Amino acid sequence: YTYRYAPGVECILGEYGYDKNQKSKVSTPLVKGYNAKQSQGIMLLRGINAISFSGFDRLIIYWIKDDYGEDEPTIFLSCGIIRHVAQDKYEPYPAWYYISTLINNMGDYIPEKIISEQGKVWVYKYRHAKSPDSVAYFIYCPTYNGTRVDNYELNIGKKAGLATEISLQENSEAGNRTEMKISNGIIKVNVTEAPRFILVKEK
């Protein structure tokens, strides 16, 4: 629609975010087993993925910096991904590390295909913009009640040569990397409500 009426103009989604404080009417859903700060990061990642496949050109996270911390109940004042704790001193929230992990590992990938949006496991496929033999999968359980699916069989195809799983890690902008065993184009993944990224190098 936007390209039809404004050719060449980017379509931007602005002000997407969640407050950490549960008294806010835009508070993050609490993912079982995670605190509000971690849950905010998990839900932001899920939304970034969904928005990537929606067709928007750009997304604005609302916002970057909290001035009052996650205990501030006023709407929008606890939705930052870093906290201003003193002059020229900032403290990242888990969301900062989770989003950084996504960007540092998949920042050059573009959406290719929705593999599945049914059942307990949702899977999305990305491909590297400049290296078409590099594929990434974004995978998670779409609930927040503690659902987990162990040994989920992800079909990455028989062209796959190497596969690496990246899971979110506290205080890390790169995540935890684990080399995966491929058997007849299948890898087994322990899927949780916190997204995991599977990087695949095709032969």
* Reported pTM: 0.96
Asked whether the beta carbons of 32 and 146 are under 8 A apart, the reply is yes
Tokens encoding 25:
């009417």
Work out the number of other CB atoms within 10 angstroms of the CB of residue 109: 22
Q: What is the pLDDT of residues 108-140, one digit of tens each?
A: 999 999 999 999 999 999 999 999 999 999 999
Angstrom distance (rounded) from CA 163 to CA 105: 13
Tokens encoding 37:
């700060």
| pLDDT number for residue 1 | 86
| pLDDT number for residue 69 | 84
| pLDDT number for residue 2 | 86
Q: What is the pLDDT of residues 160-174, one digit of tens each?
A: 999 999 999 999 999
For CA atoms 64, 66, 72, 76, the dihedral sign is negative
Q: What is the pLDDT of residues 19-35, one digit of tens each?
A: 999 999 999 999 999 99
Q: What is the pLDDT of residues 66-94, one digit of tens each?
A: 999 888 999 999 999 999 999 999 999 99
| pLDDT number for residue 71 | 87
Average per-residue pLDDT for the chain: 96
Asked whether the beta carbons of 26 and 175 are under 8 A apart, the reply is no
